């Protein structure tokens, strides 16, 4: 074996080990090159082999420690444990997480530091059916289905407060939840998957969230994205990676903030602190969109299965002092999508703004999370139920 091939093999081992310890690809490759290069010069191949082997052993040790420490040290919310589907259309089927102690919402995790002023610990039940969707029981002939991302999944909320559950109580009949954190194209694939598995006469309310369902290629999240975006998915499944990522999350957030790419800010609403997802806020305020027209033929094809497209606003649109003057390029496109595909559109903004004003000083969003809380879900359920009835 040539010296170059030997060095490349050791470098690959070191890079994989460093990524398993939560470093992004570029950092892992650079650090691996530097330390292996120094070791190679000092001790030839033996020194470099020792360094690479030590890094691999360290990654294995962290993986074992994570498995011994228990899942509470690895996951901060139950669905993190259940992203097992290779097609990224459903959670692990038949899962039952009851009383999961969620110490905080996703904004605290994204910020990478303790934010005691906004943290809202809670207990979460998260149960999935045979298809891997968040339902206490399998599909049983329900007329109505909810489809969408983490808002429809009910991230941060316990099982009996998610949208499908609240809609069921308002409509007086069962509502099936077929949601998974994906994108508008993924929702079509979910609808197709459900139609194949359960071909009954159901129709869906498809939720479209302005924060992450209308992304422009190359926008906002420039090269300095969250570190996990630069780590292969198979490595991110390791419990050791999740533990190391959690332990280094603060350093990651500080690096991003130093480069002006911090993702969370703590603001004041009605005299109390609340977290703001800065990327979502920027998307609310953008004045021009992108070409999302490729969604039109997809939704036209699935239109017979869709009762309504539901536009979900972000917190900014409910509480910002300038909320009445905000542009809404995402909603403009949703109206176009509905018109061109023959599907009705429901904008939740007016109903949620009115409910937000009534609820103050309490909010419709968790103070520590980018998702709505039970009160916000209730406002949405009331508006959606009125449309479905």
In order of 219, 230, 234, 236, 349, the CA distances from 223 in angstroms are: 10, 10, 22, 19, 32
220 pLDDT band, cuts 50/70/90, is very low
pLDDT at 110 (0 to 100):
82
Question: Could you say which DSSP state residue 93 is in?
Answer: T
Beta-bridge partner residues of 271: none
223 pLDDT band, cuts 50/70/90, is very low
Euclidean distance between the first and the last CA atom of the chain, given in angstroms as a whole number: 72
- Given a cut of 90, whether residue 11 has pLDDT beyond it is no
- Given a cut of 90, whether residue 344 has pLDDT beyond it is yes
pLDDT at 152 (0 to 100):
98
For the four alpha carbons of 175, 180, 185 and 190, in that order, the dihedral sign comes to negative
DSSP 223-235: S---GGGGS-HHH
Q: What is the pLDDT of residues 282-300, one digit of tens each?
A: 999 999 888 899 999 999 9
Query: What mean pLDDT is predicted for residues 242-265?
Result: 66
54 pLDDT band, cuts 50/70/90, is confident
What are all long-range contacts of 79-83, with beta carbons under 8 Å and residues at least 24 apart?
Answer: 79/126, 79/150, 79/153, 79/155, 80/242, 82/126, 82/128
Q: What is the pLDDT of residues 123-163, one digit of tens each?
A: 999 999 999 999 999 999 999 999 999 999 999 999 999 99
pLDDT at 89 (0 to 100):
92
Closest C-alpha to 262, from 275, 279, 247, 287:
279
Q: What is the pLDDT of residues 74-96, one digit of tens each?
A: 678 999 888 765 667 999 999 99
Question: Could you say which DSSP state residue 303 is in?
Answer: G
Q: Give the H/E segment covering residue 42.
A: helix 25-69
Q: Strand (E) positions, the chain?
A: 96-102, 122-127, 144-147, 175-177, 203-209, 264-269, 272-277, 306-312, 344-347
Tokens 């110490």 correspond to what residue?
Answer: 103
pLDDT at 221 (0 to 100):
46
In order of 211, 227, 270, 287, 316, the CA distances from 325 in angstroms are: 18, 35, 20, 11, 12
Instruction: Please say whether the beta carbons of 311 and 284 come within 8 A.
Output: no
Lowest mean pLDDT of 176-180, 220-224, 263-267, 370-374, name the range: 220-224
222 pLDDT band, cuts 50/70/90, is very low
What Rg do the C-alpha atoms of the chain give, in angstroms? 23
Could you tell me the residue ranges of all domains in the chain?
A: 1-69+226-249, 87-222+261-388
Closest C-alpha to 239, from 72, 87, 88:
72
Distance, in Å, from the CA atom of 312 to the CA atom of 101, rounded to the nearest integer, reads 27
Q: Tell me how long the chain is.
A: 389
Q: Give the H/E segment covering residue 151.
A: helix 150-153
- What residues contact 77, with CB distance under 8 A and at least 6 apart? 100, 102, 106, 124, 155, 156
- Given a cut of 90, whether residue 18 has pLDDT beyond it is no
Longest dimension (CA), the chain: 76
CATH architecture of 87-222+261-388: 3-Layer(aba) Sandwich (3.40)
């Amino acid at each position: 074996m040539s010296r170059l091939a030997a060095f490349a093999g050791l470098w690959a081992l070191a890079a994989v080990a460093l990524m398993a310890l939560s470093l992004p690809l570029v950092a892992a490759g650079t650090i691996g090159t530097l330390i292996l290069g120094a070791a190679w010069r000092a001790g030839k191949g033996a020194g470099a082999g020792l360094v690479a082997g030590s890094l691999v052993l360290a990654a294995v040790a962290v993986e074992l420690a994570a498995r011994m420490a228990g899942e509470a040290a690895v996951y901060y919310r139950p669905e993190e444990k259940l992203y097992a589907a290779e097609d990224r259309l459903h959670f692990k089927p038949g899962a039952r997480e009851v009383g999961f102690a969620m110490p905080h919402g996703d904004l605290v995790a994204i910020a990478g530091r303790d934010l005691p002023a906004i943290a809202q610990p809670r207990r979460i039940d998260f149960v999935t059916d045979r298809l891997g969707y968040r339902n206490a029981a399998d599909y049983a002939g329900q007329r109505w289905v909810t489809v969408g991302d983490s808002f429809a999944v009910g991230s941060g909320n316990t099982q009996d407060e998610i949208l499908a559950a609240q809609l069921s109580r308002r409509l007086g009949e069962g509502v099936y939840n077929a949601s998974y954190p994906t994108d508008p194209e993924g929702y079509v694939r979910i609808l197709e998957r459900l139609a194949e598995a359960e071909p009954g006469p159901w129709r869906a309310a498809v939720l479209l969230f302005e924060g992450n369902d209308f992304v422009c290629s190359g926008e906002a999240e420039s090269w300095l994205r969250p570190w996990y975006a630069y780590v292969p998915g198979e490595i991110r499944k390791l419990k050791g990676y999740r533990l190391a990522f959690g332990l280094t999350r603060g350093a990651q957030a500080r690096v991003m903030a130093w480069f002006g790419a911090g993702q969370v800010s703590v603001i004041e609403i009605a005299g109390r602190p609340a977290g703001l997802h800065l990327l979502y806020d920027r998307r609310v305020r953008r004045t021009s969109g992108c070409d999302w027209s490729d969604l039109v033929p997809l939704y036209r094809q699935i239109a017979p299965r869709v009762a309504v497209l539901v536009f979900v606003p972000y917190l900014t649109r409910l509480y910002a002092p300038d909320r009445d003057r905000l542009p809404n390029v995402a909603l403009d496109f949703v109206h176009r999508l509905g018109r061109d595909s023959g599907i009705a559109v429901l904008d939740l903004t007016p109903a949620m703004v009115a409910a937000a004003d009534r609820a103050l000083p309490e909010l419709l969003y968790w103070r520590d999370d980018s998702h709505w809380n039970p009160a916000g879900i209730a406002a949405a359920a009331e508006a959606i139920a009125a449309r479905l009835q």
